[in-house]
Each structure stands twice: as structure tokens, then as C-alpha cells.
Amino acid sequence: MKRARIGGQAVIEGVMMKYEDQYAVAVRKPDQEIEVKVESYTPIGEKYKILKLPILRGVVNFFESLVIGVKTLTYSADFYEEEEPTGKSENKDDFRLSDTESNNGSGSGENGSKNNKKESSTGDDLMMIGTVIVSLAIAIALFMLLPAFIAGLLEHVTKSNALIAVAEGVLRLVIFLAYVVLISLMKDIKRVFMYHGAEHKTINCFEAGDPLTPENVKKHSRYHKRCGTSFLVVVMIISIIVFMFINVKSMWLRLLSRVLLVPIIAGISYEFIMFAGRSDSKLANILSVPGMWVQRLTTKEPDLEMCEVAIRSVEAVIDWRAYQDAMKRGEIED
């Protein structure tokens, strides 16, 4: 049996966990019951083998994670819409986009229902893609273009491209940290950060071979080297190195280069995060320090009920008892 690499994400009052071709989202509903939904999917890298090559696989994984993240976050938020009666969540459909429309009598019998589902699926797909594109555009503008524009003004002070690239990277990190600090002041985001901590603790408990109980999970670290926060920090550090070697005089070319190089930087950063996640070497641990430090802002200590939600999400995608039994027998290999 190969070593399991589980990834996850905090959502509104819940946790999403992903393993191989499945991901599950567990949400603590307003009535305090835990709702668990599972979705199967085929990574695009399985369809086109060339996309499993280093760097390319990081770009693909980045966009797939964005889509799944937005989808599960939207699903969890639906339970807490103010205008929605609490009881509605009891009959909530699976969040698979093709199953969101029920037969409401429009159309002719079964064919009408299928047409309604197909139209709903297409509309939801387009809305989801649009949300991801808009979110990505805002992130690029805020964290890539704005620092590049401000740092570009330093050309009137110095002609050193290396110095300008470092200044741009520092600005990018400052803007990111300021953004995290500001949103952490919001009550709902504080709870999301607590669920983020529960996600990390549960994965650490799982990887350590300890039984998944809320009490055991609570004992583990809320930091993890494969975290998305660490990925973003690595992106900023890699961008400094890459942009040192790109010297353009025109401001619009500078901004265009930042946009065009986002996929490449994301791909390189993904390879680093995967290396750090698999390795316990001193080098990997040292290089992981900046990302682990920033996780102090994006994760908070969860309570036992939050840990229970995260455990339910893991249980939906993998039989952790069978896996840990195999670990004890020495049957797990990298």
C-alpha cells in the first residue's frame, strides 16, 4: 500500500478532505448535526498524462484545487444563509453539480427532469468557473500586479533589477500578511481558521498513526508543511528569484510578465511543497519555516467538536483504521 497523502481545506463550519479520486466535505449544521457529502472526480492529469510532468502538474493541481475549494466553500455556506430556514439543510441534495435540480414537473416526465438537470448543471458550472476566474483575477491584481507597479517606481531611484525584485517581493508579503490580519478580525473567519487548525491536526494525527479521536487529534500540531498557506508563501519567495532574472523597462511589460509567469511560479512552488511534505530532512524543515510561521495567523486552536467534524471528513475518503493497521505491519511504502 502506498503512503496516503491527504489534503484538505477549511470551509464554513466544516472541513473538506481530499484523497486520490474523492473528496468529502463535513459541515456542522445549525442544528448541530454533522452533514457529510462525498464527491468522486477524475483529475485532469489522469486523462492527459503529459499534465503529470513536473511543473505542469503543479499548475493543474492549483486550478483544480481552486475549483474544488470554491465549490465546497459555497456548499458549506448554503447551510448558513440567513434567509434559508434551518430545516432546509435536512433535504439538501448532494453538491454534485449534475444533481442539484429535482424534477419539479417542468418538461415531460423523466426527459423533462433530465433536461432541467442538464441546464442547471451547465449554469452552475459556468457560474463556478466565473467565480474562480474573478477570484483569481482579484488575487493576481492585489498580490502580483500592485506590488510590481509600486516596486517599478523605484526605477527612478535605482537601476538594480535585483533590488527592485526584492522590494517587490517584500511588498507582496506585506500586503498578504496585512490581508490575512484584517480578515482574521472577522468573527466567521476566526472560526474558519479554527477549522483550518482542526484540518491540520487531524491530518497530522492520521500520518502519525494515532487513532482518530477528537482527544488524540487535539494533541497534534496545527501546522503542516503541505498547507496552502505555505504554498502561497513559497510562491512569493520563488517570485522574487524568478523576477530577478527578468529585466524589462516598460511598466506594462513588467505587469504582463507577472501575469504570464503566475502558472510557472505556481508549478515550481508546488514541486517544493511536495518535496517538503515528503521529506523530514533538515533542509526541507528549514525551508518550510516561513510558511509554518505564517500558519500561526491562518490557523487557530480548534475545540473537540471541530476535530470531530474533521475526522468525519477523513473517514469519508479513506478507511484510516485499515491504513494504520498496514502502517503497523510495515506495509506502507512511499
Residue 285's contacts (CB-CB under 8 Å, 6 or more residues apart) are none
In angstroms, the CA 317 to CA 299 distance is 23
In angstroms, the CA 3 to CA 334 distance is 5
pLDDT at residue 52 in the model: 87
- Full-model pTM: 0.83
pLDDT at residue 120 in the model: 54
Amino acid at the residue 291: G
Cell digits for 322? 485499515
In angstroms, the CA 199 to CA 10 distance is 7
CB–CB of 282/259 below 8 Å? no
In angstroms, the CA 82 to CA 85 distance is 8
- Residue with the three cell numbers 513559497: 234
Helical spans, DSSP H, in 44-160: 44-47, 56-78, 109-140, 146-152
In angstroms, the CA 127 to CA 239 distance is 31
Can you list the positions of beta strands (E) in the chain?
7-11, 14-19, 22-28, 34-40
In angstroms, the CA 76 to CA 218 distance is 23
DSSP class of 11: E
pLDDT at residue 207 in the model: 93
pLDDT at residue 192 in the model: 96
Cα–Cα nearest to 160, from 243, 261, 264, 255:
243
pLDDT at residue 124 in the model: 64
pLDDT at residue 295 in the model: 95
Query: First CA to last CA across the chain, in angstroms?
Result: 9
CB–CB of 204/221 below 8 Å? yes
Q: What is the residue-level pLDDT of the chain in tens, covering all 334 positions? A: 788 989 999 999 999 999 988 999 999 999 999 999 999 988 888 888 898 899 999 999 988 888 899 999 999 999 987 444 444 444 444 443 333 333 444 444 555 544 554 555 566 667 777 777 888 889 899 999 999 999 988 888 888 888 999 999 999 999 999 999 999 999 889 999 999 999 999 999 999 999 999 999 999 999 998 898 999 999 999 999 999 888 887 888 989 999 999 999 999 999 999 888 888 888 888 888 999 999 999 999 999 999 999 999 999 999 999 999 998 888 887 6
Amino acid at the residue 116: N
Using CA atoms, how far residue 317 sits from 10, 37, 88, in Å, is 16, 10, 26
